[in-house]
Structure 1
Amino acid sequence: MSKKFLDDAYNLNSSQETQDLYQDWAASYDDEVAENGYATPRRVAAALWAHLPEPQTPILDYGCGTGLSGLALHETGFRALDGMDPTPKMLEGAQAKGVYRNLKGFDIDDPAPLQNGAYSVIAAIGVIGTGAAPPETFDLLMKALPKSGILAFSFNDHTLDDPAFTSRLTDWVDTGAARILFRESGPHLPRQNLNSDVILLEKA
């Protein structure tokens, strides 16, 4: 029986632990999340397409992992997809999906891995949250967007319970620096009884 990694993903304490787990998980990641009914990528893609049904919109899939998010975006209709992920083995999985124009790695501890203004739409699907990218990643992505740019992302139940993450969203909205275009709760990993909020956030 192959090792299961999902439960371990919510008990990580450092960026190195996170990268090591995802490097080991890469070969079985798609199968394990599929077994648990992983629904968030399609939900984010559908929300973004409903708001912006333009196939050639350049989208950065940040933390693309094995490419399940890119696959969902592609199946929804988007065709100009670039991906970034810090885990080499995960990027190999993304390459195999055949839906990205470009894929690149980055140092997980790099405080500024993005070129500001390069994309008007950034997707971070299942990326920012407990056991994954830290709270400051939210600010990093928002600052990289131009005015009127859109961050399409998700917060799962674990993340919604953690003010370190939710306060980032609240701060941007309450100060008028961004506005919520869409927010909806729904299934994330239904076989784990986990939901997520899918959110489209426009930078002011």
Structure 2
Amino acid sequence: MASWTAESHLGNSPFLKRVYEASTATESRDVYNEWAQQYDKDLEAEDYAFPKLAARALFDASGGQPEDNKQPFEGLSILDAGCGTGLVGIQLAEFGASNLVGLDISTGMLEVARKPGCYSALEEADLSKPIAKPDDSVDAVICVGTLTRGHVGPKPVLEEFARVVKKGGNIVATVLDDIWESGGFKAEVERLRLAGNIEVLRSDVVGVRASSNVGGRLLVLRKR
């Protein structure tokens, strides 16, 4: 489930209030289906920074160097969880990613994501439920704009990310900063760390807009 971020950091799209007030996955899916054709324009107008920040963070965590944009993503299987209209896929493709699977609750969003041709597969999925992927089946997971108010909570999704990624693989996710603690994300990350499932590489406060340095949390984890 892709999402807009906090009203305090991005503009007030007419769809924003409806998204946050949705109480079921069906309601969320219906709003995003309606929003899909306008979504990219709305985010571009607000200088939305998360897709580029997250893609770069995954590139860096995977051992990439600034002068070598194609490595190490060539051949790497990446799961884009909550891919929305494919903004993250476009960024990853610029770094050479070619084996990219996108999941989203909205078929309307997935249809938009299909157009640039960045994904090898696009699948409908509700991330508030277990992910229909085998254990240790992907090299990396990225999740941008989905861990926010009224959307996907920390359980079971963070543990599911750790389950499907291979040992030594990286997980990059953005979390709305004002629910990082109150929404239970910090506690769940710590639980998984203490259980020996993950190593926390980064947990930085970042800007939702490119012109800001507040509003978001960039999380980079590695599976042990």
- Shorter-chain TM-score: what band? 0.7 to 0.9
Residue aligning to 1:169: 189
2:24 and 2:97 map into 1 onto residues whose CA distance is 34
Matches within 5 A, 1:113-192: 113-136=132-155, 137-189=157-209
Could you say which structure has the higher helix fraction? 1
Letter in 2 for 1:133: V
* Superposed CA offset, 1:61-118 (max 9, x none): 1111100011111123323212111211000010012111121223566534222221
2:93 corresponds to 1:74: yes
Moved more, 105-114 or 76-85: 105-114
TM value normalised by structure 1: 0.87
Runs ≥4 residues deviating over 6 A: 190-193
Q: Secondary structure at the match of 2:92?
A: helix
CA contact (8 A) 1:4 1:32 kept: no
- Distance apart, 1:192 and its partner CA: 9.5
Aligned-residue Cα RMSD (Å) equals 2.3
For structure 1, list consecutive stretches of 5 or more residues without a partner in the other structure: none
Number of equivalent positions: 202
Identity %: 26
Matches within 5 A, 1:1-204: 4-52=14-62, 53=64, 54-56=72-74, 57-106=76-125, 110-136=129-155, 137-189=157-209, 195-204=215-224
For structure 2, list consecutive stretches of 5 or more residues without a partner in the other structure: 1-12, 65-71
1:23 and 1:79 map into 2 onto residues whose CA distance is 26
TM value normalised by structure 2: 0.80
